[in-house]
Amino acid sequence: MLQSVYTPKEFKKIRAAGDIVARCFEFLTPHIRVGISTGDIDKMVAEFLREAGAKSSSLGYHGFPKHCCTSVNDVIVHGIPDDAAILKDGDIVNIDLTVEYKGYHADASRMFMVGNVAPGARKLVQVAQDAMNSAIAACGPGVPLSEIGRTIEAVVKPHGFSISRDFVGHGIGKTMHDEPQIYHFFEPAHNKIKMVPGMVFTIEPMINEGSEKCKIDPDGWTARTVDGKLSAQWEHTVGITEDGVLIFTEKMND
C-alpha cells in the first residue's frame, strides 16, 4: 500500500521537479488571457520544459497526446489542449502539469481566471483552493489518510458544492501514479492508513457547482460535469516529514 515512501535525498529530487512545475505556472500566468488557445498553452509548456531540461509525464501516458491538461469551465479534469479552443472572457481554466526531472515526478494544477469572471465562479475557484490548502495543513506523521477527505468535505459542504468521486489523488515519485489512492471525500477505510515520514502524494480535489457526476467525451479523456455546471480543481504534490508536511510544487527561493 505505502509504495511512495522516499528518503530525504529523494525528497530533494522531487522538490526540484516541483520547482520546475511552479516556475512553469509563473511563466504561463501573464499569457492566460482572452484569445489564447489551450493548444497555445501546451506549446508554451512544451517549450518551457525543454529549456528546463525536464519532460512532461503526461505526454504519451496511456496515449495522452499533449504536455499538460487544460480543463475549461464544465470540464472537471483531463481536458486536452486544442488549437481551436480559444479562451474567452469569463472562463475558468485549470492547467495540470506533471513533470519528470532526473527520474522523479511532481504534479500540480491550478486555476486561472480569464478576463471578468462571475462572482459565483470566483467563489467556486476559491473554495476549491481553500479545500486543498486545508487538507494539506491537516497532513503530518500519524495522521490517517481519511483526514484529507474529511477536511475537504468540511470546507466544501457548507457552500453546497459537490466533490468529484471518480478521480483521486495518488502517490508519486519515481512514477507519476502510485499507491496509495487519496480520496477527496471521507472514506472510513482510510482511517486505518496512517501517514508516515517519507510518503509523497498529491492532493487534488475537484469541486463542482452542481452534480458530482461526470461524463467522458468521445476523445476518451475529457471529463465533464453531467449538468454542464462549473468545476474547479487545485493540486499540489506534498511530502510527509518527521514533524509535518512539505509542499513540493512551489517555487524554491533563488
List the one residue from 82, 107, 147, 209 that touches ligand MF3 (CB under 6 A).
Answer: 107
61 binds ligand MF3 (CB under 6 A): yes
78 binds ligand MF3 (CB under 6 A): yes
In what side-by-side order are the strands of the sheet with 223-225?
75-77, 223-225, 214-216
Half-sphere exposure of 248 (CA within 13 A, CB side): 32
238 binds ligand MF3 (CB under 6 A): no
How far is it, in rounded angstroms, from Cα 14 to Cα 99?
Answer: 10
How far is it, in rounded angstroms, from Cα 226 to Cα 210?
Answer: 9
107 binds Co ion (CB under 5 A): yes
162 binds Co ion (CB under 5 A): no
CB 34 → ligand MF3: shortest distance, Å? Answer: 25
* CB closer to ligand MF3 out of 117 and 176: 176
How far is it, in rounded angstroms, from Cα 68 to Cα 78?
Answer: 9
Residues facing 201 on adjacent strands: 171, 238
* CB closer to ligand MF3 out of 117 and 152: 152
96 binds Co ion (CB under 5 A): yes
209 binds ligand MF3 (CB under 6 A): no
178 binds Co ion (CB under 5 A): no
List the one residue from 4, 38, 58, 237 that touches ligand MF3 (CB under 6 A).
Answer: 58
Cis status, amide bond into 180, omega within 30 of 0:
yes
76 binds ligand MF3 (CB under 6 A): no
38 binds ligand MF3 (CB under 6 A): no
How far is it, in rounded angstroms, from Cα 7 to Cα 199?
Answer: 9
Q: Are 206 and 58 in contact (CB under 8 A)?
A: no
CB 98 → ligand MF3: shortest distance, Å? Answer: 4
Q: Which helix (H) or strand (E) holds 120?
A: helix 119-137
Q: Are 109 and 235 in contact (CB under 8 A)?
A: yes
- Determine the interface stretch with ligand MF3 among 37-45, 56-64, 81-89, 117-125 (rule: CB under 6 A): 56-64
Residue 102 grid cell: 532526473
Footprint of ligand MF3 (CB under 6 A): 58, 61, 64, 69, 78, 96, 98, 107, 202, 204, 235
